[in-house]
Amino acid sequence: MPRLATTSDVFTAVAEPRRRDILVYLAPREQTVTAIVKALGAAQPSVSKHLKVLRDVGLVEARREGRQVLYRTNVDALRPLHDWAAVFERFWRHQLSRVKERAERAPSGKGGKP
Amino acid sequence: MPRLATTSDVFTAVAEPRRRDILVYLAPREQTVTAIVKALGAAQPSVSKHLKVLRDVGLVEARREGRQVLYRTNVDALRPLHDWAAVFERFWRHQLSRVKERAERAPSGKGGKP
DNA sequence: CAATCATATTCCCATTTCGGAATATGTCAA
DNA sequence: TTGACATATTCCGAAATGGGAATATGATTG
């Protein structure tokens, strides 16, 4: 079995960079498909397909207005993602000490990993 | 061009449920591959492959101890994910009013979406 | 060195994914 | 109704994914 269907999982849907861009673009206010196409510089069919995926997962909502369709990010659907990531917040402090320790061990910091 | 290489993007790496399970399992403390195999009930080669993906993206770190290899989640590498999701936090309040409004419009709340 | 435990890698395969091009559907205007 | 605009869908091909089975590498012990 290959990867989980992109249409059933928020994580997989968000794995695509273009879809992330779309979500960011549609978060402040609803936008036309054409607007998205122009903003992202992508092909229209491609955008429509991505929007379908996002809509199937519930990450965006659509509203028809005449000839145009206005899409808008459903930010609530992103909470599972945020919540999952937030679980690790608990361990950040714990591991921060390690990072700090390493940083202090190498004071001339510029030469990280070129 | 098909999907983005799972090995170059944290988002894609985390798209796989088993890999998420591994990350959660390895967050509190480092664990042996065998331990992961038992904990997840997955096949050993499968786990090793997932670990390789996670390590290539920097989501886990490995340490050899005799015959065994101890893996540990690098929680810092999860920050991009968290930060990206956190961008939408700003809009949650805004959209919460809509949800609230809808909830108040339907007082007999039990029948949500079973 | 041989045997064994622990982990990694390779090979094969069914399935999915995305982009591009072409085409279909839907909606408004004249 | 015809035509133009906006969006959606289908078909195609190249590339990638993850599981399973087999095998390879690494390290320890006798």
Domain boundaries, given as residue ranges, for chain A? 10-75
Q: Give the pLDDT of residue A57.
A: 96
Q: Give the pLDDT of residue A2.
A: 55
Instruction: Enter the tokens of residue B84.
Output: 């990206």
Is residue A89 scored above 70 in pLDDT? yes
Per the CB < 8 Å rule, is B95 touching A81?
no
Per the CB < 8 Å rule, is A85 touching B89?
no
Say if residues B73 and B60 touch (Cβ distance below 8 Å): yes
Say if residues A91 and B78 touch (Cβ distance below 8 Å): no
How much is the mean pLDDT over chain A? 85
Q: Give the pLDDT of residue B104.
A: 53
Is residue A91 scored above 70 in pLDDT? yes
Q: Give the pLDDT of residue A92.
A: 78
CA of B16 to C1' of C18 (A): 18
Nearest protein residue to the C1' atom of C23, measured from CA: A45
Q: Return the CATH number of the domain spanning residue range A10-75.
A: 1.10.10.10
What beta strand segments (E) does A8-67 contain? 31-32, 60-65
The set of strand C positions with any atom below 7 Å of a protein CB reads 5-10, 14-23, 26-28
Q: Does the CB of A52 fall within 7 Å of any strand D atom?
A: yes
Output the CA torsion sign for A49, A52, A57, A60: positive
How far, in whole angstroms, is CA B25 from its chain's centroid? 10
Q: Give the pLDDT of residue B5.
A: 67
Output the CA torsion sign for A42, A47, A53, A57: positive
The residue among A37, A107, A103, A30 whose CA lies nearest residue A73 is A30
Min Cα distance B16 → chain A (Å) is: 7
Instruction: Enter the tokens of residue A39.
Output: 């903003």
B65 or A96, which is more confident?
Answer: B65
The per-residue pLDDT for range A25-77, each reduced to its tens digit, is: 999 999 999 999 999 999 999 999 999 999 999 999 999 999 999 999 999 99
Output the CA torsion sign for A41, A44, A50, A55: positive
Q: Span A76-81, mean pLDDT? A: 94
Tell me what percent of the residues of chain B surpass a pLDDT of 90.
Answer: 69
In this structure, which topology does domain B1-106 adopt according to CATH? Answer: Arc Repressor Mutant, subunit A (1.10.10)
